[in-house]
Amino acid sequence: MAHTKSRVLWSVLVGSIVVAAGGFLASCVGNDEFRTLSTTRSAEMDRRAEQLRSAQLVLIYSASSRNNFEPCGCGGQYEGGLSRRATVFEEFRKINPNLVALDAGDLIAGASPSPTVALDHLGQAYHELGYDAILVGPEELTTGFGEVRRIGEKQSLPFVLSNVKPKDGPGVPEVVRIERAGRKIAVIGVVGASHFESSPHLKRRRAEMVVEDPASAVARLTAALRPASDLIILLSHIPASERDGLAGKLGGVDVWIDNPGFLSFSDKKRAESQPAKPFEGIAPQAVLATSSWENDRKIGLACLSFPLTGPKLASSEMFELAKDIRENPRMLEIYDSYKFSSRQVLIPRLIPAGSRESRKDFAYTSSASCQGCHPAQYELWAKTDHAHAFATLVKECRDDDPACWACHSTGFTEASGFVSPAETPELKDVGCQMCHRVDLRWHPMQKPKRPRAYNMVQTWHCSRCHIEHRSPKYRGNENEYREKIACPAMDRPQATTTQPAGGPKTVSP
Its sign, for the CA torsion 425, 427, 430, 431, is positive
Element (H, E) at 135: strand 133-135
Amino acid letter at 265?
F
Give the per-residue pLDDT at 349: 67
**pLDDT given for residue 6 in this prediction:** 39
- Provide Rg for the chain, Cα atoms: 25
Max CA separation in the chain (angstroms): 83
Neighbour-count burial of 115, counting CB atoms closer than 10 A to its CB (0-12 exposed, 13-18 middle, 19+ buried):
buried
Q: Which of 43, 33, 137, 185 is nearest to 95 (CA)?
A: 33
- pLDDT tens digit at each of 509 positions of the chain: 444 433 444 444 444 322 323 333 333 344 455 544 553 445 655 667 888 999 999 999 998 888 888 877 676 666 788 999 999 999 999 999 999 999 999 988 876 778 888 899 999 999 999 999 999 999 999 999 999 999 999 999 999 999 999 998 889 999 999 999 999 999 999 999 888 888 888 888 888 999 999 999 999 999 999 999 999 999 999 887 787 778 778 888 888 888 866 443 333 343 343 333 333 333 323 333 333 445 567 888 889 989 887 888 888 877 888 888 889 999 999 999 988 888 888 777 666 544 544 445 567 888 888 888 888 888 989 998 899 988 888 887 788 888 788 889 988 877 778 888 888 889 999 988 887 766 655 565 445 444 443 445 556 667 778 876 677 777 777 778 877 887 775 544 444 444 444 444 433 33
Could you give the angle at the alpha carbon of 421 between the alpha carbons of 419 and 426, nearest 5°? 85
Coil, strand or helix at 179:
strand
H or E element that contains 166: strand 164-166
Q: Identify whether the C-beta of residue 290 lies closer than 8 Å to the C-beta of residue 259.
A: no
pTM, rounded to two decimals: 0.76
DSSP letters, 253-299, are -SEEEE------HHHHHHHHHS---PPTTB-GGG-B---GGGTTTEE
- Rounded distance, CA 41 to CA 211, Å? 51
Which of 456, 346, 492, 325 lies closest to 409 in space, CA to CA? 346
Distance CA 270, CA 267 (A): 5
Q: Which of 114, 112, 123, 110 is nearest to 151 (CA)?
A: 123
Compute CA distances 447 → 123, 281, 439, 440, 486, whole Å.
51, 65, 10, 11, 21
The 3-class SS string of 294-320 reads HCCCEEEEEEEECCCCCCEEEEEEEEE
Q: What domains does the chain contain, in order, with CATH numbers? A: 10-323 (3.60.21.10), 353-485 (1.10.1130.10)
The answer to whether residues 416 and 339 touch, using CB atoms and an 8 Å cutoff, is: no
